[in-house]
Structure 1
């Protein structure tokens, strides 16, 4: 597969899409232990989430992100770091940097819309589709609803929940309690902090409108008590938990190699 070099801002957007689909993790307070969750969607794309202490490692799927690498989340500093193994670089993404990018995107979309107001409707529509700015921002009303249905996914039983945006079903999530999977809940305190941040980013994208709304909004998932065994997007892809492990993980998986150079987001 040819390598497509992308700036970190583009890679982070693709990575967050997949991560949000694998989110929705409950938190608890039992003893810390390592954990690895392996997901596969119905198009055959795989993703992994690894947890050790206060750090989460999320593999970047090259077919989606165009790069080979991973993302680290440090719950103690609320920092995401994109690591590109192909380029041997890393990009720290603090809350301030991510919020600044979102504001810059919102301002850019607003300026483009103002400039295109003078164009004929058919030309404006074509440009909006080409530039991906057709999505209007709105105050997103996000809610969840327990369907009352239970079903089996693999060896486990899960409860179905609908995710609603503006009262319209967006996705169906089937979740199981963490202890039923034999997983320590303490690791999911760390994952819970990550998923809260991803939810904030996706919500901000919806409210801002523009390309980020169309790219991230489809995977917007608020916190649901439990661990997702399956997530089915409306008229979209279904992702399933294909495996999990609580074996000890190497600390080397949760750090940036010393030889890698820091790269700016823009």
Structure 2
């Protein structure tokens, strides 16, 4: 299941930044935070997200799926609507097995045991998690770019905060921005009814991109470092033929 967390976590990684300018078909964004440097490559056809490690995520508009690529072991996983459906069924079965196991221990120990399992398996309770946006009305400037301060709300409670600039002010073309939105729409649809909805961020509801992102738990900030509109080579969005596909896996009750 770590690959599913990684794919869903792509939404959280995209605390992006850029500079104002003429809209370009291709955009490479580099941004930094305490955990390291990230790069995001955007074209009208694809999006690639590189984290601070060697792994990266890939989305292609003509092949609705999110790939998690691991160069260290030369493997990749594919998450699409079909595999998401399989995972949804596996999670339901897993919850049933865990609940059966919990019923076999003394009642006074169940709450602690359930909480311990929930830390390992965020989707344990299966309940839908609401994630919304509170447009605060406040504005700020990041590296000379005007942005709107937006509070993310999870299950009615304030969570992460970001400052969002309009896509047109960022120099990202309409076609490229549509591809980013289609990626997050796909992720939302795949996570729906899994209990994992809260992992992602509601970027599909934004009219622009975050230029600052502040994590509510760690306090980490990610902000603009550099931007380029140079053409991006097609090979940047190609998974090497020698890489082997691995199937997504759900966690077991034991960990």
TM-score, normalising length: structure 1 = 0.77
Deviation string for 1:1-33 (max 9, x for gaps)?
xxxxxxxx41341242243341699xxxx9861
Counterpart of 1:229 (choices 211, 214, 220) is 211
User: Residues 104 and 258 of structure 1: is their aligned pair in 2 closer, same or farther, counting only changes over 3 Å?
Assistant: same
Counterpart of 1:217 (choices 195, 198, 207) is 198
Query: Aligned residue for 2:91?
Result: 105
Q: CA deviation at 1:250?
A: 1.3
Distance 1:23 1:221 in 2: 12
Unaligned runs of 5+ in 1: 1-8, 63-67
Equivalence map 1:5-20=2 (5 Å): 9-20=1-12
Any idea what SS the aligned residue of 2:83 has? helix
Q: Alpha carbon RMSD of aligned pairs, Å? A: 2.8
Query: Aligned residue for 1:127?
Result: 113
Instruction: Count how many residue pairs are aligned between Structure 1 and Structure 2.
Output: 240
Q: Is the 8 A contact 2:23 2:170 kept in 1?
A: no
Query: Aligned residue for 1:137?
Result: 126
User: Residues 179 and 172 of structure 1: is their aligned pair in 2 closer, same or farther, counting only changes over 3 Å?
Assistant: same
Query: Aligned residue for 2:162?
Result: 173
Distance 1:234 1:246 in 2: 31
TM-score, normalising length: structure 2 = 0.80
Distance 2:225 2:95 in 1: 39
Aligned: 1:50 with 2:31: no
Deviation string for 1:95-130 (max 9, x for gaps)?
201221133123202320232023224533443344
User: Residues 10 and 166 of structure 1: is their aligned pair in 2 closer, same or farther, counting only changes over 3 Å?
Assistant: closer
Divergent runs of 4+, >6 A? none
Unaligned runs of 5+ in 2: 250-255
Aligned: 1:248 with 2:231: yes
Query: Aligned residue for 2:74?
Result: 88
Query: Aligned residue for 1:194?
Result: 183
Larger mean CA deviation between 51-60 and 217-226 belongs to 217-226
Deviation string for 1:19-60 (max 9, x for gaps)?
3341699xxxx986111122323x232222212331111224
Q: CA deviation at 1:175?
A: 0.4
Q: Is the 8 A contact 1:39 1:48 kept in 2?
A: yes
Distance 1:169 1:200 in 2: 23
